Amino acid sequence: MDTLHDAATALSLTYLDAYADGGDPARHGHRPTTAPDPGIPVLARLVAATGGPGATGTAARAVATWATAAGRGPGHPGLYDGGLAGTLAGLRLGARLHPALHRAADRLRDHLTGAAVATRWRTSDVAFPDYDLITGPAGLLLALHAGSNPTAPQLTTMTVHLTALCDHDDLPRLRTGAYAHHPHLSWTHGRVNTGMGHGVAGVVTALTTALRVTGDPATATALHRATRWLAHHSHVDSRAIRTWPGAGPDGPPPVDAHPRQAWCYGTPGVAWALWDAADALGDPEAAHWALAAFGTLAARYDEEFHLFGDAPADRLGLCHGAAGVLAVADAFARHARLPAAALLRSRLTARLRADLPAALRTPWPPTLLTGAPGALSALLTAGGAPRDWLPCLGLR
C-alpha cells in the first residue's frame, strides 16, 4: 500500500472509529441520525478491503452502528435524501462485513422492485421523484447494482418507466411541471433538467446500466434519444469548456462561464453519461465526442474558480465539489484511458489530501453525496479500492 493510500485509509479509520463509538463525527457526540444514507457502509466496505490490521474490526463496528437505525427515514424509494434505495445500497455493501444484512437487503429489494412502488411515478408534468437519480426510479435502478448483480426482471419496472419518458426526440415528458412557485426550484419549472442528479444525464446512466443487463432494443432507442438531446444542448463557454446549462432549452446559451462544474451539473457528470452510453450502444463516434467534451474540462479545470462555497460539501464533496470530479476523472482514466483525465485525477487527489484533514474537524454530515464519507470514498477508490459502490453515482 502506497503512502497516499495509507494517509487516506488512516483518515477514514479515524472517522469510522468515531462513528462506531456512537458519536456522529459531524454532530460532535450526538447519536447518528442518517442511517438510510449509504455513506457509512460504502466507506466501511472500502476501508475493510484496503486497510491494514484492525481496519476490518473498525469498519464492522461502524456498519453495526449504522444498521441500528436502518428503519428510519421518510420511506420514499429514492437513493438519496433518506430514501429506501439508499438503505438497500447500504445494507448490501454493509453485508460484506455483516452477511446477515443480505437477508434484510433481499426483502427490501423485493419490495422496491414490486409493481406498487411504480404507481407513484408520473409520465407528464413530472417532478424529480418521477424520474431522477436522487429520489426517483433512475436512482433506484442504479442502487440495485451497488454491491450486487440484479437480474433483468428486477430492473423491468424502472426501465419501462424511464424508457417511456424518452419516447420523443425533444423529451417533453421530462419537462418539469411541479415547480412554478417553488422557492428554490422555480428556475427548472417547464424545462428539462440536464444534470446527473436531477436531470437527463442521470436518466441516461440508468438506461445505460439497464441496457448492459437486458440488451433490450426499446431501451437502446430511448437511450439514443436522450443522448442526442443532451449533445444538442451543449455549448462552449468563455473558458473554452464544452458544457451544459442546468436546464434547457431556454434561449441562447450563457455567455460567461459558470463555476459549477461538478458531478451534479456541468461537464463532468454529463460527459461521463454520454461516453458510457455510447460505449454501451457501440457508437464510437459519439464516444469520441463525449471524450473530447470531458477533455476540454480536464485541460482547463481551475480549482480556484470551479471549487467554491463556504461548506466542505461545496468544495470537497461528491455532489458539488472536488471528490465528485475526482470520481468522474478516475472513471474516464480507467475505462476510456484518457491521459488528461489521469492528470486531473492526480491534481484532485492532491487537493483532497491537503484539505480533508481540516475539513473533517468541522460539522459535516455522514452522508455519501454531500458528506465526509463520500469524499473519503472517492479518494480511496481513486487509489485502487473496490468500485462496487460507484453505481450510486452512475459511474463504474
List residues forming the annotated binding site for Zn(2+): 264, 319-320
Take residue 71 and report the three cell numbers written for it. Answer: 428503519
Helices in the chain by DSSP H: which ranges? Answer: 3-20, 39-50, 55-67, 84-94, 101-112, 115-118, 137-143, 152-165, 200-214, 217-232, 267-281, 284-300, 303-306, 312-316, 322-331, 339-359, 372-382
The cell 436531477 sits on which residue? 198
Q: Of 92, 75, 94, which Cα lies nearest the Cα of 19?
A: 94
Chain-centre distance of CA 23, in angstroms?
A: 26
Q: Judge whether 298 and 268 are in contact, CB under 8 Å.
A: no
Phi, psi of 243 (to 5 degrees): -150, -175
Binding site feature residues: 264, 319-320
Q: What is the DSSP string of 141-177?
A: HHHTTTTS---HHHHHHHHHHHHHHT-STT-GGGBB-
Give the angle 217-220-223 at the CA atoms, nearest 5°: 155
Which set of grid coordinates corresponds to residue 349?
A: 487527489
Q: How far is CA 341 from each of CA 291, 328, 349, rounded to the nearest angstrom? A: 10, 8, 12
DSSP reduced 3-state for 192: strand
Distance CA 330, CA 338 (A): 10
Q: Identify any residues that bridge with 242 across adjacent strands, giving them in sequence order.
A: 236
Query: What is the distance between the alpha carbons of residues 98 and 92, in angstroms, rounded to a whole number?
Result: 9
Q: Is 179 exposed, middle or buried (0-12, 13-18, 19+ CB in 10 A)?
A: middle
